[in-house]
């Protein structure tokens, strides 16, 4: 039985984001790199970084789905805080780098910023739930 619906929702969203991240990379971003004049080492770094984010989202999603079914919610609260912190820092770093590379690119972040913000808020709400 689900003990924390917030964790369950965020877990499912993380897995969904992993799938969309991977598909976006495979269908749009990575083919552009392979057709460019970027050296092989830079292309390799960009490719594995892209897939690391996807893998990280899958791990977060699976962990949160498991956490949603834990009987003692207090035992998994720290993990929820750590995942929320990682997602928050990831969003801040992405925004800062984008701003530093060109303020005109900031509007491209709107969707991902909203998505990360929703995940963090839901995680923090889930962390506030007390054991019954």
Per-residue pLDDT tens over the stretch 35-77: 788 888 888 888 888 899 999 999 999 999 999 999 888 889 9
* Domain span at 48: 5-127
pLDDT of residue 56: 95
If one counts the domains in the chain, the total is 1
**Would 15 be classed as within a structural domain?**
yes
pTM of the model: 0.88
70-109 burial, b for 16+ CB within 10 Å, e for fewer? eeebeebbebbeebbeebbebbeeeeeebeeeeeeeeeeb
Residue 132 inside a domain? The answer is: no
């Amino acid at each position: 039985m689900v003990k924390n619906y917030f964790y369950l929702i965020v877990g499912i969203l993380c897995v969904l984001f992993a799938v969309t991240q991977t598909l976006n990379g495979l269908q749009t971003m990575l083919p552009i790199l392979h057709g460019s004049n970027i050296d092989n080492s830079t292309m390799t770094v960009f490719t594995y970084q892209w897939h690391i984010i996807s893998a990280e989202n899958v791990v977060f999603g699976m962990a949160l789905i498991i956490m949603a079914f834990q009987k003692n919610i207090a035992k998994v609260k720290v993990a929820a805080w750590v995942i929320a912190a990682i997602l928050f820092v990831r969003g801040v770093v992405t925004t800062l780098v984008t701003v530093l590379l060109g303020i005109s690119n900031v509007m491209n972040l709107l969707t991902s910023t909203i998505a990360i913000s929703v995940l963090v808020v839901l995680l923090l709400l889930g962390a506030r739930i007390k054991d019954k």
